[in-house]
Amino acid sequence: MIRTSLISLLSIAVTCIMAQASYAASGAVDELVYKTQQGDTLIGIGSQLSNPSDWKQIQRINHINNPKLILVGSTLHIPVTILRSEDAPATVISVEGNAQVNQQPLVAGALLTSGNEIVTGKDGFALIKLANGSKLAVQAGSHITLTALKKYTIDQTFSSTVDRQKGRIETERAKTNSASPRNRIITPS
C-alpha cells in the first residue's frame, strides 16, 4: 500500500515536472530569438542588455561553453526582460467624435507614449499607428492603456503592449520582412 502510494506520488511529480518543462519549451517565456552575426560574443551582446553582466544568463539559457566563441548564424534565446529598450512612440492617424488621451482631447498627429490612456466616447473612434507599423482601431465606448511601447536596441525590433479595460479594438499587423512585431493585447478576464 505504501509502495503503491509512493509510486503514485512519484508519477505525479514526474508529470508535473514534464508539464513545467513543456510549458517553458513552448515559448511561454517572452523571449527574443537572435541570430548571431560575424564578431558576436556573449560579452559584446551583453552591452545591449539593461545590465551588461546578464550575458551570463544568456550563456546558461543557451548552454554555451565558451562566451567568446559563438558560431555565426547560431540562434540565441534572450528573455526580453533583460534587453535594453528605448521608447517607441505611437502616432494618432485619425480621430472621430469624442476621444481623449489622459483626459485631454486626442488629435490626429499626436505622439503617444507608454502609460497613455485612450478613452473614446459613444461616438468616438481613434486610429493609432504603432512604431512597428501595426495599427490599432479604438472603437466607440472603449478605454485602453498603452502599457509599453518599446524598441529593442539589440536588433531594432519593436514590442507593444496594450491593456483594454473596456470596449473594443481592432488590429492590423504590420507587413514587414524583419522579425515579426510583438503586439500584445491584454483583455479583462
Residue whose cell numbers read 526582460: 81
Taking residue 162's Cβ as centre, other Cβ atoms within 10 Å add up to 23
What pLDDT shows up at residue 16?
36
Three-class SS of residue 25? helix
Q: What is the mean pLDDT of each run of 10 residues along the chain (189 residues)?
A: 41 36 44 89 87 92 89 92 92 97 97 97 96 93 95 86 94 70 73
Picking from 87, 80, 66, the residue whose alpha carbon sits closest to that of residue 150 is 87
Q: How far is CA 147 from CA 15, 48, 71, 116, 162, in A?
A: 36, 23, 37, 7, 5
Are the beta carbons of 180 and 152 closer than 8 angstroms?
no
The rounded distance, in Å, linking the Cα atoms of 19 and 131 is 37
What pLDDT shows up at residue 176?
64
Are the beta carbons of 83 and 159 closer than 8 angstroms?
no
What is Dmax (Cα atoms) for the chain?
73
The rounded distance, in Å, linking the Cα atoms of 88 and 86 is 6
